[in-house]
């Protein structure tokens, strides 16, 4: 089975940097996704890591260590509009069926304060 852990809530100040951690235990690991979800809206794709290391995309970066089962999402120069939930999702592959599935963590609610 899959087990994904991330903090429930975090608070950070506008203009600061925040790191949201995600740890996972899974079989057939085939990549890790981060999604952003504003209250009352659909999740939207932020980043994807399949190899170890850092992927940078503007103010957002995501890091993966497959050996440690660990990822983080780094948000720089925080803005009020970054207040949202951030969902970590692990993709696993069923090699026999050739199928992919995403398993989501429960999400981290980030509040950005002035």
Q: Given the rule CB under 8 A, which residues bind another protein?
A: 30-31, 33, 41-45, 48, 87, 89, 91, 99-107
Of 34 and 63, nearer to another protein (C-beta) is: 34
DSSP track, 31-64: EEEEEEE-TTS--EEEEEE-SSEEEEETTEEEEE
Of 40 and 114, nearer to another protein (C-beta) is: 40
Give me the least distance between CB of 93 and another protein, in Å please.
8
Give me the least distance between CB of 35 and another protein, in Å please.
8
């Amino acid at each position: 089975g899959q087990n994904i852990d991330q903090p429930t809530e975090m608070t950070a100040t506008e203009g600061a940097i925040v790191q949201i951690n995600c740890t996972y235990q899974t079989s057939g690991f085939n990549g890790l996704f981060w999604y952003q979800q504003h209250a009352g809206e659909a999740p939207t794709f932020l980043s994807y890591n399949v190899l170890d290391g850092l992927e940078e995309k503007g103010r957002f970066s995501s890091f993966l260590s497959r050996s440690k089962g660990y990822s983080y999402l780094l948000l720089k120069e925080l803005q009020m509009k970054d207040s949202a939930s951030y969902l970590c999702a692990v993709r696993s592959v069923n090699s026999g069926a050739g199928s992919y599935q995403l398993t989501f963590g429960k999400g981290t609610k980030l509040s950005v304060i002035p």
